[in-house]
């Protein structure tokens, strides 16, 4: 299967701090790839690079064979039209109805008649289970419904790739499971390439075909779920088994910390 994205030697700094440390991997087309790791490991920073929102310090990101790290904004916008993105907070515009939120990409990037756009919006909303909610505002939706509305907007231009940033964040287990099943459905029905950034293990075990795991800005695993589960890497075992970090404080250190010294 051809690679949809290839990352080579990616390095990123925030000021003097190195966030991504010479990482390389490939994302195969037509599969769901999960970028996994704990808080602060660089997952969201990596996602911003993959969709062209951040420029790296060094390295290359090839999207369908073209290096997006050297593209100007107009070239990047052409590439982004092939991408759909569901941000962690859904990023819906509160002043617009659900219909207008989903219609926005079509109105901005196509010359379709409004009557056609409204039909297409209703099709997208039906796909994500939100039929009948066209006239609602984001403030009238539950957290799970906002995620689905954001997903309908991400699908508005029929993208070749879908990106999700922590899709289960803030959702109860039942709602999160429903969103996971929707991701699986989208891949099966549309043969889409899907990239999901998450630290939620139940989601990973439901949706992933392939896993890329980060730890402290480095890739420590690339492979299948079975390979991840079988890994003897201590950092991976700690994550999968929910083992807390072992602090090396002495009793004197502890009392100094709680005293604010």
Please answer whether residues 79 and 66 qualify as being in contact, where contact means their C-beta atoms are separated by less than 8 angstroms: yes
Strands (E) across 15-67 are located at 17-28, 32-36, 58-63, 66-67
Please answer whether residues 213 and 36 qualify as being in contact, where contact means their C-beta atoms are separated by less than 8 angstroms: yes
Q: Which of 228, 143, 229, 127 is nearest to 186 (CA)?
A: 127
Is there a domain that residue 54 lies in? Answer: yes
Same domain, 173 and 51: yes
Confidence (pLDDT) at 243: 77
CA pair distance 63, 69, nearest whole angstrom: 10
Rg, C-alpha atoms of the chain: 20
Same domain, 137 and 121: yes
Tallying the residues shown for the chain, one arrives at: 261
Same domain, 120 and 170: no
Is there a domain that residue 13 lies in? Answer: yes
Same domain, 7 and 113: no
Containing structural domain, residue 117: 91-159
CA pair distance 184, 159, nearest whole angstrom: 16
Confidence (pLDDT) at 261: 45
Is there a domain that residue 131 lies in? Answer: yes
CA pair distance 197, 47, nearest whole angstrom: 7
Q: What is the pLDDT along the chain (261 residues), one digit of tens a residue?
A: 688 999 999 999 988 889 999 999 999 999 999 999 888 888 989 999 999 999 999 999 999 889 999 999 999 988 988 999 998 888 899 999 999 999 999 998 889 999 999 999 999 999 999 999 999 999 999 999 999 999 999 999 999 999 999 998 888 999 999 999 999 999 988 888 999 999 889 999 999 999 999 998 999 999 999 999 999 999 999 899 877 766 555 555 555 545 544
Task: Indicate which CATH number applies to the domain containing 211.
Answer: 3.40.50.300
Same domain, 77 and 1: yes
Confidence (pLDDT) at 253: 54
Confidence (pLDDT) at 40: 82
Tokens of 14: 């925030």
Same domain, 166 and 155: no
Please answer whether residues 62 and 237 qualify as being in contact, where contact means their C-beta atoms are separated by less than 8 angstroms: no
CA pair distance 120, 43, nearest whole angstrom: 33
Tens digit of each residue's pLDDT (9 = 90 or more) over 100-115: 999 999 998 889 999 9
Confidence (pLDDT) at 250: 57
Total structural domains in the chain? 2
pTM of the predicted model as reported, rounded to 2 decimal places: 0.88
For strand 66-67 and strand 58-63, is the pairing parallel, antiparallel, or unpaired? antiparallel
Confidence (pLDDT) at 88: 83
Confidence (pLDDT) at 252: 59
Is there a domain that residue 174 lies in? Answer: yes
Same domain, 174 and 137: no
Same domain, 52 and 107: no
Is there a domain that residue 195 lies in? Answer: yes
Same domain, 51 and 136: no
Same domain, 48 and 119: no
Please answer whether residues 26 and 189 qualify as being in contact, where contact means their C-beta atoms are separated by less than 8 angstroms: no
């Amino acid at each position: 299967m051809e690679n949809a994205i290839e990352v080579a030697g990616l390095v990123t700094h925030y000021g003097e701090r190195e966030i991504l440390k010479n990482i390389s991997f490939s994302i195969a087309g037509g599969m769901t790839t999960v970028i996994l790791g704990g808080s602060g490991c660089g997952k969201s920073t990596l996602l911003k690079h993959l969709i062209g929102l951040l420029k790296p310090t060094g390295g290359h990101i090839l999207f369908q064979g073209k290096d997006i790290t050297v593209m100007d904004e107009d070239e990047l916008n052409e590439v982004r039209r092939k991408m759909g993105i569901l941000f962690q907070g859904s990023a819906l515009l509160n002043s617009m109805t659900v219909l207008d939120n989903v219609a926005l990409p079509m109105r901005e990037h196509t010359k379709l008649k409004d009557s056609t756009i409204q039909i297409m919006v209703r099709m997208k909303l039906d796909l994500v289970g939100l039929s009948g909610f066209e006239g609602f505002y984001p403030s009238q939706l539950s957290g799970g419904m906002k995620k689905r509305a954001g997903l309908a907007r991400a699908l508005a231009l029929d993208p070749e790739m879908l990106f999700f940033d922590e899709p289960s964040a803030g959702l109860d287990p039942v709602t999160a499971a429903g969103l996971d099943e929707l991701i699986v459905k989208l891949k099966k029905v549309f043969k889409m390439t899907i990239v999901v950034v998450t630290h939620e293990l139940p989601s990973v075990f439901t949706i992933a075909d392939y896993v890329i795991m980060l730890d402290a800005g480095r890739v420590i695993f690339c492979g299948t779920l079975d390979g991840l589960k079988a890994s003897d890497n201590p950092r991976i075992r700690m994550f999968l088994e929910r083992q807390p970090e072992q602090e090396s404080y002495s009793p004197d250190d502890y009392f100094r910390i709680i005293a604010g010294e």
